[in-house]
């Protein structure tokens, strides 16, 4: 059981480049989300989805796009990377049925924008 899989693990981008961070889960979870983690800031929610075809903005959505065409996948797109987007990105998934659902996290993607 793979759980939540993120790719790539590391990425270096030049300012202005675009890229997609991939996230896939094999637990049939309805709820998926993207976070960024910066030193001293904790995990901040970027975008989330409560099911296929449904997405919503979190705390820090600017500069990021998402889509949810399937239950399994929830890619995060950076259209024009900026140095301020240098961070570690985590994808998470959980059941939506029941408030006690545990969030399962991927291993993270360390992104550096130069």
Tell whether the torsion through CA atoms of 82, 20, 12 and 27 is positive or negative.
positive
Question: Please, which residue, 7 or 96, has the CB nearer to another protein?
Answer: 96
Region 58-97 residues binding another protein, contact defined as CB under 8 A: 58, 90, 92, 96
Torsion sign, CA atoms 8, 103, 96, 65 = negative
Instruction: Give residues 33-62 in contact with another protein (rule: CB under 8 A).
Output: 33, 35, 40-45, 48, 50, 58
Q: Contact residues for another protein (CB under 8 A)?
A: 4, 33, 35, 40-45, 48, 50, 58, 90, 92, 96, 99-100, 102-103, 105-108
């Amino acid at each position: 059981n793979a759980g939540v899989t993120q790719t790539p693990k590391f990425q270096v981008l030049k300012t202005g480049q675009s890229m997609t961070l991939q996230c896939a889960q094999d637990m049939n979870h309805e709820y998926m989300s993207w976070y960024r983690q910066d030193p001293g800031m904790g995990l901040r929610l970027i975008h989330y989805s409560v099911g296929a075809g449904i997405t919503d903005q979190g705390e820090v959505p600017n500069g990021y796009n998402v889509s949810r065409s399937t239950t399994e996948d929830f890619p995060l797109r950076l259209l024009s990377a900026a140095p301020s987007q240098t961070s570690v990105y985590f994808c998470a998934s959980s059941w939506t049925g029941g408030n006690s659902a545990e969030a399962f996290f991927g291993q993270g993607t360390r992104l550096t924008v130069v």
